[in-house]
Amino acid sequence: MMAEDEPPEDPKDAAILRSAFVAFARYGLRRTSMADIAKGAGMSRPALYLRYAGKDDIFTALVRHHFTRAERTVARVLANPGEPAATLLAVFHAIDGDAVEAMLNSPHADEILSADTPFSQTEVQQAYGRIAGHIARWIAEGVAAGRLNLDGLDASPEQVVSTILAAKFGIKSFSKDFAAYRAAEARVARIFGKALGGEGPGS
């Protein structure tokens, strides 16, 4: 997963990550070269190597930046929640950012999705855990306030969130394109929104 919105404050890093985002979507991970990224960032290849050891290092930085941004956006969404299904869908979109559309519309989507190593880095796992924590607190607070309920689910807020996120991330594996992915996300949001005691959009 990659993100080009809200780039790092350092202008050179911002240019590098934007260039890499475009190059990876256009050429895939294997075919993208450090020269491609350097050219897009408006710098020399040796200068790029002073900042990053290689393209895998840059891809890892992109994933880390994406989840850092996603965590902040999810927190903002949950600070002003609406009805359950709409809130969950907004959370899904916050986690995705602009990255998922570019990734799923890329002819190299399968290759990018199979790159597991960047997603296992400690900072990414910690950000993912905090995102899950934000959602679990939203559920717990909603239950306490009577807006949500866990009746019949036989699960804690944390267990419910784990299932929600597993479903949200799992649908990438069978979505043929971005439109299909977005439709599946909406279904997941409606299903869990109703399970938590609300009605989905348009129901």
Position 28 in a domain: yes
Considering only CA atoms, give the Rg of the chain.
18
Gap between the Cα atoms of 22 and 141, Å rounded: 40
Position 5 in a domain: no
pLDDT in tens, the chain (203 residues): 444 445 456 889 999 999 999 999 899 889 999 999 999 999 999 999 999 999 999 999 998 888 989 999 999 999 987 899 999 999 999 999 888 888 788 877 777 766 666 677 788 889 999 999 999 999 999 999 999 999 999 999 999 999 999 999 898 878 888 899 999 999 999 999 999 985 444 44
Position 3 in a domain: no
Domain range holding 56?
A: 11-195
Gap between the Cα atoms of 59 and 41, Å rounded: 15
- The number of domains in the chain is 1
CA 77, 78, 79, 83 dihedral sign is positive
The CATH number covering residue 49 comes to 1.10.357.10
Position 169 in a domain: yes
Q: Which of 161, 144, 172 is nearest to 195 (CA)?
A: 161
163 alpha-carbon distance from chain centroid: 16
